[in-house]
Chain A
Amino acid sequence: MRKVWLIAKRELGYFFSSWTGYVIIAVSLFISGILFNAFSLTATPRLSSQVLEQFFYQSSGVAMIAALLLSMRLISEERSNSTIMLLYTSPVTETQIVLGKYISALIFFIILQLISIYMPSLIFVNGKVSIAHIITGYLGIILLGSSIISIGLFASSLCSSQLLSGVVGAVMVVVFLVFWMLSSIVNPPFKDLFAYLAIHNNHFLPFQRGVISIAHVVFYLCINFFFIECSVKTLQSRRCRG
């Protein structure tokens, strides 16, 4: 675990010592702020919980893009700069490399979400919402974001170019997003399968409404586990091929 933490700490240091991390934070907050102002704080009277739901709905989109941007460079940059050689020739396993990278992006993502808490807090100025609803919404965003990070990490393990890994990751995420549309036009058993795999519509919306369901939590954890494992296997197979 010490090595996982060392790799994660170094990676976090990169986010904070380069412009990348600050730009992602600034752009995410800027877009979330505009969307919050335009769509959540409208002149039409609404229930506070509806405003909060709307906020989480918009934030989930921004969070997915941020998670993808955070993860697309994690391994591909190591490969393009040849710094992966240092890790490969050290007594570090592929699992430790992948977990270290994943944890760093996840911590950064959580920090980004914590900074955005001021937006739902504004609802308390003229309304009243449950703290549990806020916590549940953020839990959903973090679970969704962590899944996107694991998908992006896998894409990053496949490509040497950051841009290419970003494109591959985005395509994979889009596929998971449109599963809910596909589920409405295909026949069983694919209908149920596609509906289940819809990463946002099927599994995030309950969190947005303030409902925690173990089934959805398990789904996101499984996505994380699956793509982390795929990333590990990709790194291992690359060593075999040389």
Chain B
Amino acid sequence: MIEVKNLDKYYSSFKALDNVNFSVDDGQIVGLLGLNGAGKTSLLKILGTLQLPSSGQALIDGVDVEQDPYTARTKIGYLTDVPALYKEMKVISFLRFVAGIKNVPSSEIDRYVEEAMEITHIKEVANKRLFQLSHGFRQRVGVSQAILCKPKLLILDEPINGLDPIQIIEMRDLFLSLKGKHTVLLSTHIISEVTKTCDRILMIHKGKLVRECDNVEALGQDQIEHMFVELVQGSGQGEYNA
């Protein structure tokens, strides 16, 4: 589903991504773990066609995000920690608008919106304006717009930031319910989140992909935490797989 080859990203002379290589299979939930400023968002922005890479290649379902961003966008749903919502709109009108711009056929819009609201449990607030909603509900509407056109790839950038513990649990359950239906790339700096949600973890530090963990369940949270701390503190640097 995702193939990233020799990806570099510079902001002036600052190298935000340094020769990143990885691939993700269909249907996986993959966590992108790293400290703040590690390069997670830069990587997601390139995959989300929000930025162009300085060099290298990123393919989504075989489509090069640099060469054909328009087609790549038909394959992704994107959510950030502060979801992009038009707050003066009603939830249902907003989702209908999103469906329209995401190529959902006019005759299917109501059905798609209904399904997305069902999955994210926001039917009760369908007729409320977005500015009237709590952060948790706004985040759900954000997920709703991301999954609306049934994208092959869901890109979630720090989706649980600012949520209270109950909302985090609800959001985690929501992500797990998406398993199998979409490939999910979830970026976070919270280790417990990736261990509870993801099949696989990519650890990124100072712009480099420093480690991949394929057997998250077997390793457990403590060991992953230990690995991550080691990598960040420099004692375990190097590229190897667990």
Most chain B CB atoms below 10 A, which of A87, A89, A93: A89
Contact: B50 with A89, CB < 8 Å?
Answer: yes
Contact: B88 with A14, CB < 8 Å?
Answer: yes
Docked CA distance A105–B199 (Å): 48
Docked CA distance A7–B98 (Å): 10
- Residue B215 CB within 8 A of the other chain: no
Chain A at the B interface: SS class: helix
**Which residues of chain B have C-beta atoms less than 8 A from A18's C-beta?**
88
Docked CA distance A18–B86 (Å): 12
**Residue count of chain B within 8 Å CB distance of chain A:** 32
**Which residues of chain A have C-beta atoms less than 8 A from B76's C-beta?**
89
Closest residue of chain A to B155 (Cβ to Cβ) is A89
- Residue B166 CB within 8 A of the other chain: no
Q: Which of A58-101 contact B (CB under 8 A)?
A: 81-93
- Residue B49 CB within 8 A of the other chain: yes
Contact: A239 with B50, CB < 8 Å?
Answer: yes
Docked CA distance A191–B86 (Å): 47
Docked CA distance A207–B70 (Å): 42
Docked CA distance A93–B93 (Å): 22
CB distance from B39 to the nearest CB of A (A): 12
Contact: B50 with A91, CB < 8 Å?
Answer: no
Contact: B78 with A239, CB < 8 Å?
Answer: no
CB distance from B204 to the nearest CB of A (A): 17
Knowing A10-B86, A82-B84, A83-B85, say if A88 contacts B50 (CB, 8 Å): yes
Contact: B101 with A92, CB < 8 Å?
Answer: yes
Docked CA distance A3–B87 (Å): 20
Contact: B84 with A86, CB < 8 Å?
Answer: yes
Contact: B74 with A91, CB < 8 Å?
Answer: yes
Closest residue of chain A to B50 (Cβ to Cβ) is A88
Contact: B101 with A85, CB < 8 Å?
Answer: no
**Which residues of chain A have C-beta atoms less than 8 A from B82's C-beta?**
82
- Counting chain A residues whose Cβ lies within 8 A of the other chain, the interface size class is 20 to 34
Interface string of B4-46 (1 = CB under 8 A from A): 0000010100000000000000000000000000000010010
Contact: B74 with A85, CB < 8 Å?
Answer: no
CB distance from A35 to the nearest CB of B (A): 32
Contact: A239 with B84, CB < 8 Å?
Answer: no
Contact: B52 with A90, CB < 8 Å?
Answer: no
Contact: B51 with A242, CB < 8 Å?
Answer: yes
CB distance from B207 to the nearest CB of A (A): 14
Docked CA distance A134–B77 (Å): 50
- Residue B236 CB within 8 A of the other chain: no
Given A6-B101, A84-B84, A242-B45, 7 other A-B contacts at CB below 8 A? Answer: A6-B100, A13-B88, A83-B84, A83-B86, A86-B145, A91-B73, A242-B9
Interface residues of B (CB under 8 A from A): 9, 11, 42, 45, 48-52, 70-71, 73-74, 76-78, 80, 82, 84-89, 93, 97-98, 100-103, 145
A sample of 27 inter-chain contacts (CB < 8 A) reads A2-B100, A6-B100, A10-B86, A13-B88, A14-B88, A17-B89, A82-B84, A83-B84, A85-B78, A85-B80, A86-B84, A86-B145, A89-B48, A89-B50, A89-B78, A90-B98, A90-B102, A91-B70, A91-B73, A91-B101, A239-B49, A239-B50, A239-B52, A241-B51, A242-B11, A242-B50, A242-B52
